[in-house]
Structure 1
């Protein structure tokens, strides 16, 4: 049974196998340099390692690569708060954002979607 990168990283972080998780994320970044998912996961990993500044850079990179990727936007908002709850989004299922309707998807003149706070 094949697990997604997000599932494998979630389990590795729970087990505190940060080095192994970092290697998997770096491999995914090398194989898919324009994919937002590995950058979001690297941001989560760096937050768990208390490297907030670098984590935020990876969340912003994930958002820049795909402005419609909800977990990156959720994590940026979550960790930019003065007192974050520590909850992070590995996948869209982890994001309560869509349920509370505080964001909407708006397309710009280049047909790129952006999540905008209502």
Structure 2
């Protein structure tokens, strides 16, 4: 089993080791400032710490860094609702919209892919 940042953070959040998780994410952000994954994970962590506004900022940052990164888009939609209906997405495997026939991948004039509802 690989030990990805997502897997480590999922485990730390489940164990409620929020401070340790934040340090790991911070290190990943410092080493890879243009990587969407740490921002998505920080958003999840902020939601678990009941800081909804900061969580949404991190989800939007992840989406801005990589509009094709499905977990960021999924989490923005989930937590942007008054009553979220699902769980957070650490990876693409956690996103039911990935295989949802209501969405399609459309590329813009800059060749950046976006998931849009059909």
Matched residue of 1:33: which SS? coil
CA RMSD in angstroms comes to 1.1
2:21 maps to 1:3: no
Instruction: State the TM-score, normalized to the length of structure 2.
Output: 0.96
Structure 1 residue 85: deviation in Å?
Answer: 3.0
Equivalents in 1 of 2:9, 2:82: separation in Å? 26
Q: Which stretches in structure 2 are left out of the alignment for 5+ residues?
A: none
- Name the SS for the 2:115 alignment partner: strand
Unaligned runs of 5+ in 1: none
Q: TM-score, normalised by structure 1?
A: 0.96
Task: Report whether the alignment pairs 1:78 with 2:49.
Answer: no
Alignment partner, residue 107 of structure 1: 107
Partner of 2:94: 94
Deviation at 1:56? Answer: 0.3
Tell me which stretches of 4 or more aligned residues in structure 1 moved more than 3 Å: none
How far apart in 2 are the matches of 1:89 and 1:11?
13
Q: How many angstroms apart in 2 are the aligned matches of 1:2 and 1:88? A: 21
Shift of 1:74: 0.4
Take 2:108 and 2:88, find their aligned partners in 1: how far apart are those partners?
Answer: 28
Indicate the SS of the match to 1:76. Answer: helix
Matching of residue 21 in structure 1 with residue 17 in structure 2 = no
How far 1:2 sits from its partner (Å)?
4.8
Counterparts of 2:35 and 2:57, CA distance in 1: 15
Instruction: Work out the number of aligned pairs and report it.
Output: 118
Q: Shift of the alpha carbon at 1:99?
A: 2.3
| 1:87-108: CA deviation from partner (whole Å, max 9, x where unpaired) | 0000000000022222211111
